[in-house]
Amino acid sequence: MLRSALRSLLNLDDPPERTALAFAIGTFIGFSPLLGLHTILAALVSVVWRFNKLAILTGSFLSNPWTIAPIVGASWAIGRLIIGSPPVELPQASLSALFTAEFWSLIAAQWRQLLPFAVGATILSIASAAISYPLMVYILRKYRRASPRVASHD
């Protein structure tokens, strides 16, 4: 699904800079600490600021069921490194654990751990957007130079 969305992204009619900006905002949202709200936020931002929905949703889908566990782990590690809190003890650190009420109950009980997670996730959000924007502009420009579109004259 992501591969198909990326192919479609390369062929959007928007200027490369605008498409890349929407994608970067999507990656920012996808790495944000607002777990469970990424798709809703991406759709809302795309409507309010009239960004291409495909571009912003593709960026936000970089965090998905297969990548969320490493993103959450990295967020906590970065936050702990900056804030200096003790390591978090996660129940069954696996993908399936993220979908259990026990996991989220234990996370909520360790409320002091949420601040390092939020700080780390925000740093990852900023870094992902800062990296994805110029990279996507470069990819879009290179692709469009290599595959120029034929203007249709109706």
Residue 113 has a pLDDT of: 65
Cα–Cα dist 44/56, whole Å: 10
Per-residue pLDDT in tens (0 to 9) along the chain, 154 residues: 667 767 777 778 888 999 999 999 999 999 999 888 888 999 999 999 999 999 999 999 888 777 888 888 899 889 989 987 766 565 555 667 767 787 777 767 766 668 888 999 999 999 999 999 999 999 999 988 888 765 444 4
Yes or no: say if 85 and 40 are a contact pair by the CB < 8 Å rule: no
| Cα–Cα dist 86/5, whole Å | 40
| 3 state SS of 150 | coil
Segments making up each domain of the chain, as ranges:
2-146
Report the distance separating Cα 124 and Cα 144, nearest Å. Answer: 29
d(CA 89, CA 152): 60
